[in-house]
Amino acid sequence: MIKVTKHGIILEKTVLSFENDSVLNPGVFQEGNTLHMLYRAVRKGNYSTVGYCKLEGPLKVVQRNNTPLMIPYSEAASKGIEDPRIVKIDGVYYITYTAYNGINALGALVTTNDLKTFEREGIIVPKITFDEFKRLAECTNLVNAKYFRHVRHFEVDEGIYLWDKDVLFFPRRIGGKLAFFHRIRPGIQLVMVNSLDELTKDFWNHYFLHFNKQIVMDPIGVNHESSYIGAGAPPIETELGWLLIYHGVYDTSAGYIYSAAAALLDIDDPTIVIARLIDPLFVPEFEYELNGVVNNVVFPTGTSLFDDTLYIYYGGADKCIACASVSLKELLQELLLNKVHHE
């Protein structure tokens, strides 16, 4: 059993108009002892921007901006930008988020050299209808049937796309390629490209024709992730492979319950899952995780590492930002006791 220490709430909403409803789901980038935290800030009426604060050490907030760092800039995000994640690749920060327009929720990207001025890359996931996705993905007949149920689907598909969220990049190129996870329910998929220019309509058509090969993990039949899963914090490079902290969801009579989970992926080919915890890493148990805007939620989206202690930052009940920590060595040892057997 892995010992998990919960450090409680580290950031809450304020009276400022852009974050007077809730703060949650932060992206975290570590530079030595300093953490840059980009968080989802929600104003009343469920409109999200990205706020910024700085931490010294894993838990001490020393600076917090009183205006948003990022705001929506396109019709695709007219109802808000949500759940940022951040990495630095080749000296450039890659910040992904979900653009929401009231109907569609799609992964988008900005890049920056200084966290002050941003280059807008726009939506980087496919704008594909459910019917188009189903037609292409069913061709191999090897795709989990849940993919054709766990979707947002309307009678009229014009301008209404398959939801594609939880987009996050690996913190370095793999085999010379940019690599990022995305999430079409119920699993986690991987994209690898030489450059973002490759993400054309033809690319995505080919991608979905071979969709079974793009799926890194699907839910397994245990309670904590029996409904669906999604990538959480950017993968952490370790001597044993890429450590992925992700979220698992299962349905109950009281609604969905979100927990934190962990897996270990091959360092050269992240589609190969080396190990995966059978039990959740941690679950909602305290008031700030059990009751909020959405009850029963721990939603990990960022990490930092101080010596052997891995700090995991997460949204608690969609209303606040909290932190838990584990020994990285112990977590990796536990994962090796849960190796995945490949046929």
- Amino acid symbol at 294: V
The strand ranges marked E within 277-317 are 298-306, 309-316
Encoded tokens for 264? 């270990």
pLDDT at 49 over 90: yes
Give me the pLDDT at residue 1, please. Answer: 78
Kindly tell me if the per-residue pLDDT of 151 is higher than 70.
no
Structure tokens at 234: 């950017």
3-state secondary structure of 336: helix
In this predicted model, what pLDDT tens digit does every residue of 66-121 receive, in sequence order? 999 999 999 999 999 999 999 999 999 999 999 999 999 999 999 999 999 999 99
pLDDT exceeds 70 at position 40: yes
What is the chain's mean pLDDT, rounded? 95
d(CA 58, CA 323): 9
Give per-residue pLDDT as tens, 185-224: 999 999 999 999 999 999 999 999 999 999 999 998 778 9
- Mean pLDDT calculated for residue range 311-328: 98
Residue closest to 87 by CA, chosen among 318, 248, 242? 242
Give the C-alpha separation, 48 to 54, whole Å.
Answer: 20
Assign 343 a pLDDT band (cuts: 50, 70, 90).
low
Q: Is residue 154's pLDDT more than 70?
A: no
| Six token digits for residue 271 | 């589609």
Reported as a single tens digit per residue, the pLDDT across 287-302 is 999 999 999 999 999 9
Predicted local confidence at residue 152, as pLDDT: 53
For residues 329 and 301, what is the distance between their CA atoms, to the nearest angstrom? 20
Q: What is the mean pLDDT of residues 36-46?
A: 97
**Cα(230)–Cα(242) distance, integer angstroms:** 16
Q: Give yes or no for a cis peptide into 186 (omega within 30° of 0).
A: yes
Q: Could you give the angle at which helices 201-209 and 130-137 cross, rounded to 10 degrees?
A: 50
What are the structure tokens assigned to 342, written together? 């490949």
Distance from chain centroid for Cα 120: 19
